[in-house]
Each structure stands twice: as structure tokens, then as C-alpha cells.
Structure 1
């Protein structure tokens, strides 16, 4: 049993009567999850609780399945999956994590991940059985096939399934994976809008757009407040010399010889991770948020790591992200190489303007694209709850209905 707080949320013991958990309710034959009512006010029920029609609250239980990078030993502390999990906790959901790639490696003979596929699926079923979530939220989780998700549904009919990806749908491999996930999920969330997102509709899942989240435990720099930063312009990414983006960066570096421009991960420079990456961000005034391919409202999670840390971003207009970041107010946009070069040089000379734009962009990003808000939206959308606030991004769902 769990104990009700004076305000009605579960988890802290008080003089109130104990609240029976969701699994206990099912055992006693009470209505299934779909018959519960969401109440945002009255009866002491807050935005992190389900309320039974009689008014007794029960904290929403979320099992988050994704690559949490334990085997990286701290080299990737800023991943999309980790920030979503932090967002679940900040909403005070009862959240548990299951890192599929790590479990596969740890359970496999000789630590060979591909030999741990059967074991990781068995352990996931064991975790669901022990934790009894209301919602299972999957990232890409390639080691978990649809068949396992269907077994979860068969065994626990009340559970809801959400899936998300921060990879672009113009990647054929990722699009094929999501086309399979929409057959078994209740909701799918993608960091990209447009026709490719809408094309996933028509099967079981409702399709939603989400932005890249930031979290104060990860994005904690205020570079807009500093004048002593030695790097004028930064780009971190990967790619071969044959890719258009790599060639574009090479031509920029040649043209901007008068600007302190650092590049990592391409042009013969090694990729940086962990503390080294964080320290480079801490020395940076401005950065390029340049994707391998631009698409509606799409960016890699690089944008949250830059704007969330007070770094002024240069973004291509083809992304459509001016919808969120008006040009010259929260970020700087460009259409071609010549315009980008001109704007970089102008802002390298005008540090007061650089700081003002970066400050406004960071404040807006942290407020509206926080992991807390993104995670809450995902939970509400998957469970079919009324949205608790007017979110700053498009919230309409694409579905077969």
C-alpha cells in the first residue's frame, strides 16, 4: 500500500488512510484503467495522478525503456532518453528505468550484446510483472520486438504503450522501425513534423510531434552572461568527407579565417564526449545547428545542448524552426552560405547583441521545451488525458480516426 499526502498525491506517509495501488485495484475487480477519470481539480488529485471515479488518487506508474548508456560509464550523460527519464521524475510520476542495451550486454555470454536478445526480452517481461506500470514508454529500443510488446498487452490489458524517436524519419532505417512500432503502440512521438510524420498515421498509434527537451541537471551553463569565451563559433557532429554537410563546414572554415571556429567529429578532428564535450560548450559563444538534412521542425538533439546552455544558435531556415525562435530574437537563421558568413562575422563583432539573443533564446527554450513539459505531454497524450496546459509546439495527433 501507498500513503496519501495531505494534498492527495501518493508516496509520502501521512495521517490519511492508505491508498490502494493500481495493481491491487485490479486484483479486487475494480474498473480497468480506461474507465478511470482524469480530474485536474477537486478530490485532491494533481496532474501526476489518476483518479478513480470515487476520487481516490493513484500515482501514474511509468516504465521507461531505452538506452540509458550505463555501459558508457558517464561518457554520454546528455542523451535524449536520459532527459526524458529526468522529466518523468520532475513530474513526480512513479518512474522506473529499463536500459535495454545495457541489460542485453550484462545478461549475454561474454558480454556480447547480440547474444543477449532473448534474455533482455525475458527481463523486460519480468520488470513489467514486478513494477506493474500504467504506461510503458519505449525509445527506439531495437532489441525489443513488437512481439514482446504484444505479450505485455496480452498479460496486462490495462497497460498503455508509448514510443518515441529523436532520429529523423528521412532515415530509411528509422522510418521502417517506426512503421512497425505504430502497429502496437497507443502513441508515437517524433522530433520531426511534415508529410513523413503524417504518413505514419492510419494504424493503431496516434502520431505526435515533440521538441528536443532540455533539463537543468544537464543544460546548466549560462554562456549568454559571459564575455570571456574563447570560441566564437562551434560545430560538433559526425560524417564523411563526401557528405554535403561536411563539405559545407569545410568551406565555412576556410572563409571564416578571421573567426575562432572550432570543429569536432569531422574534418579529421576526433569526436568529443563526456566532460570534454561539456568543457568545450563552456567556452563557446555561438554554434551551428546544422543537420545532415533539413526537414519540417526537425533538429537533432544538438539544439537543446546549445540553446539550453546559453549558446547562440545559427539554424537553417528550411527547418521551419523560426516558428519557435523568431529570427534575431531567440536565434539566427540563414538561407545560404553567404548569409551565414555575414551574420557570423557581424555577431562576432557585436558581443552585446550576441548575448541578448542567446539570453532570450535560452530563457524561452528552458521554459517551454523543458524535459518536464515534454515528458508530461507524452504521458498525457499516450493515456488520452486532457492536456494540462497549452504546449508551445503543435499538439494535434495524426491517426486513422
Structure 2
């Protein structure tokens, strides 16, 4: 499961985005020319319109322009908090179908997407300039900022650089609501999880530190519940009837000494079960009955397995050998497609690249390549509605 600092990867969208950025630069220069001597004005808050096409995935391009370590000048200057906003949304849609009033100018390429697509099929990479991709959390340290897409592709959670808080976005309803208080760099560095329920109704933000807590927001009402004592969310079921969390989170991601205890909550934050698992974090199924993880069995045969755990007892439900390819590969799990299928990426051994993404049936172990995704969709990605056509 992707953590709050990294997700999953694709080449940049090319000339269309470059032209758009050039156009934005020209418009910006024109603004300065027409407003000589005026102080820079705050960026107006973006208010989206209704947008029906589901997001297949969000990504940060391979040719990211976000700077690396802070320069000496940046270290001496007041912290900016948000350093980069590079998230883009990959969408596919039919020309003229549904509402497409997202309110963002973006490049679009029509004319088909593969042999089974007509000239009315379009592909767009939408630059979401309001979504932070990197933040300065200390004087000389920066980190990636998460963005999440729901499995239906119609709901997104991200850190807004205009609002300086995490927001939940219902695309078809054109609703954008806060799901966290305003955060400075120090508070943003404490974020350990950002999650959306499969039906897009509930959003969660988890914080570590001396006062760990999980904030659960119902998007329709905007009402937020606070669950103190928990610092990571492993997933939210539909309607948030089940929430998998952890009480202990290491401040350093590479520190593996933290407790493996998993706690199950209901929507009111009441503990329904708690148990100690193995060396895994797991991802909660849409129905809240299982936690699943793709794991190597190092002590036995060096093969990869898909392991599911019963959320009431913590006992292993199934251990299925992953046979994604005929050649050796290293499997890494990401998220659920539905209550039966889980997304696994096949990686080449020793950092040799990706062999693509697979939908694995958690009951039978049968796998099928998700050809709509390609091998490497981006530098960092968050998956949404991964299948374009069945």
C-alpha cells in the first residue's frame, strides 16, 4: 500500500502541456506589464465545475521540474511550505459526453486510444495546479505530499496550496470541502495517511506525533469526527462501517520496530477488534472484511504471495502464490479494484523496471494484466478507475 510520502509512475504529457505552460507564462508577463508597481495578489481560489469523466490515475511526470534539496538561498529565506504542484489527472472520455466543466484549461488529445477506440475517444492529462506535490516541512528538509483517487475515479483528496489544508473533491457534484484544518510545514510533516472510502463518502487524514489522531470527514455534510490515539489509516470500507488503523507509527519510515497491532474501528470510532499481525501493513477491502498484502516469503521459497487476513480475528484467510509472469518478478501491492480484485504491480528484479499492473482475484489467485495502465504510468502515481473498457 502506498504510504503518505510516495505512491506508485509515466512519461510527461509532452507538447500540449508545454504549450499550456508557455501560454500561462505569457499571460503572467502580460499581467505584470498591465499592473506595474502593484504588489502581487493572492491566487484566487479555484472553484471547479461538474466533471463526469472518471480519473484513471493521478501522476507526477518522470520529467518533473520540482527541485531537489534546498539551495542555500532557500534555506536562508522564509519557508514557502508548498514548493511544487505537479500532480496531473489522466482521464479518458467521449467527445461531447457528460459534463466537462472542470474549470481548468488543459491539453486534450482526441483521435483514438488503441485499436478498440474510435475518433471520439479522448485522452487528457489535466494539470492540477492547486494540489501540492512537495512541501518544505523544516528549514532544510522537504517531502512529498500525497494525493488520493477513489476507485470509481470520481473523488480526490489532496493538499490545497490556496487553502493550505487537505480537501476532498467530488468531481461530478463540483463539491470541494476541507477535510483538515489549515496546516503549516511542521503539521504537514506529521501526516501519515490520506484515504478515501470506495464510495467517496468519507475522507480520512491521520497525524502522528505527541498527539496522534485520525480525522474522518463525511463529504456530504462536511462533518468531521476526531479519533485520538491513532496515527495511520490502513483503509476505509464503504460507508466507513469499518476503518483499519494503527496506534503506533514510527517517525522515520525506515524504522520497522513499530508495533504490528491492527485496530478495527466503526464509523463512531469505537474499537470492534484488535490483534497483532505479521510483518505487513495491509489494505482494507471495500467490504471491510479483509486486509490484504502482497508479500515475499523469504524464509521458505522466495516466491511472492497474496495474503488476506480476517479483520475480526487477524487470522490468515488465504495465502495465494502470485504467478504474474513466467519469469522472476517482485510483486508490490497497491489498492483494491473491487471486493474481489486487488491491484499488484510486477517489478523486474534488482530495479530493472516494471512489468505492468495486474488485477488479482483474492479468492482464487487468478491474475489478469491491466493493459489500460501501461508499464510505468508516471514517476509517482495514485490509481483511480484503472480500467477504461471491460
Q: Which structure shows the higher strand fraction?
A: 2
Q: Which structure shows the higher helix fraction?
A: 1
- The two structures have a TM-score, normalised by structure 2, of 0.29
